[in-house]
Amino acid sequence: MPHTSLNPTTNQVIQAFTSWDAQRLELALEKTHGAQQAWAQTAFSKRAEVLRNAALQLHARRDHYATLITREMGKPLREARAEVEKCAAVCDYYAQHAEDFLRAEPMASDAGKSYVAYYPLGVVLAIMPWNFPFWQVFRAAAPALMAGNALLLKHAPNVPQCALALETIFRECGLPEGVFTTLMIEVEQAAEVIASPHVHAVTLTGSEAAGRKVAALAGQHLKKCVLELGGSDPFIVLHDADLELAVNNAIASRFNNCGQSCIAAKRFIVVPQIADEFLHRLKIKVEALKLGDPMEDATQIGPMARLDLRDSLHRQISDSIAQGAVAVTGCKPVEREGFFYQPSILDRVTAKTRAWHEELFGPVAIIIRAASEADALRIANETRYGLGSSIWSKDAARAEQLAAHIQAGCTFINGMVKSDPRLPFGGVKASGYGRELSRLGIHEFVNAKTVWIR
């Protein structure tokens, strides 16, 4: 089956690529293994030079790469530009800090001298999604490469041009051939790659179902694994919240990338005192969002990435309405060319509806009315996911106390959940395990080796 680049705005095929056969895949694995052993011997200064060159190229060709992203998966061009800039930032961050993060650490013991030294694991397989086709790869690649690992990229099959562009960027910026390789393979072939003796670890950003399969395979072959999976982030609005601030951030969080983000706010949990006012303000802003051609700078909502994703979302919404939820605005596909869905609000979502239990990966905000503050916390944790969360209150100290009780990888108080190279990122429960970014992220794929000297 070919890897097909299809424009979700026009439903027109841009280009198709044939998948590799087993022989070509094995040659690539062998080449990457050899390239990694040489790369591991390079100085941090050399590795940093490659990443700084990549950052410069991303800045210089931002609009070119942004256009590629938008045409291949549909996000508004202005958001695609921001994604490219963020990739440059993570390159610069690890170019600056990786050597310090991996410096040997003295440890007191009964030895004359003892310390922990950090060495690369080897070749890391990165299985990445389509929704942030540049950022998801760079946030994994930058720390892995700086640690002396090599990276094999198995990208989503609907963004093959982005996948190939990423390999070209690194090659043009001085990375030795084979240290970063895009694998044009089928999903089924990923199991062969995980099993290969040339591969030493796996990082996956994707669905819960994909995470379970990859974790099982990695466990079978005793390979280190980091999983960043789905999320159903609670956005808790308390009675004393600054509603203007909360609503503006609700719009940004829920509708960025057409709602196709694991860390988007997905469940708006509101207490009785402000529920109606919050909904009123949110509805005004949702209905003002400009839907249209993502290549136009004024567009805020582009198409969803694939037709099947749009259809699946609409089934979730239709079932939830039949189960008692209330369509406040939108909640229908757009009758036009491309895979567009109306910016939507679903109110009165309860435990009897699909929307309560499932992640909605699209431009739909669901309102859950809690009975009290304590009930809001209960609802926030009543999910199998645990990625991000946010609390909105003018009493920041009180919100901080409440944050300790939320089961999630991060809690933002009076701010939108986002990834930042300086902060660790990851989840708990069915949202996965392990951490990306910051010092913790680069330590995921190294051998923390104890050295003891009499």
What residues are annotated to the active site? 228, 262
CA torsion, ordered 317, 290, 81, 436, to nearest 10 deg: -30
CB 249 within 8 A of CB 415: yes
Half-sphere exposure of 35 (CA within 13 A, CB side): 22
Q: For the chain, how far is it from start to end, CA to CA, in angstroms? A: 59
Crossing angle of the two packed helices 44-60 and 160-172, in degrees rounded to 10: 130
How far apart are alpha carbons 394 and 411 in whole angstroms? 16
Side-by-side strand order, sheet with 265-270:
326-329, 344-347, 364-369, 265-270, 233-237, 390-392, 412-413
CB 61 within 8 A of CB 51: no
Q: According to the 3-state scheme, what is the secondary structure of 20-38? A: CCHHHHHHHHHHHHHHHHH
Closest residue by Cα to residue 84 from 71, 68, 73, 96 = 68
Q: Which residues contact 92 (CB under 8 A, 6 or more apart)?
A: 51, 52, 55
Residue type at 23? Answer: Q
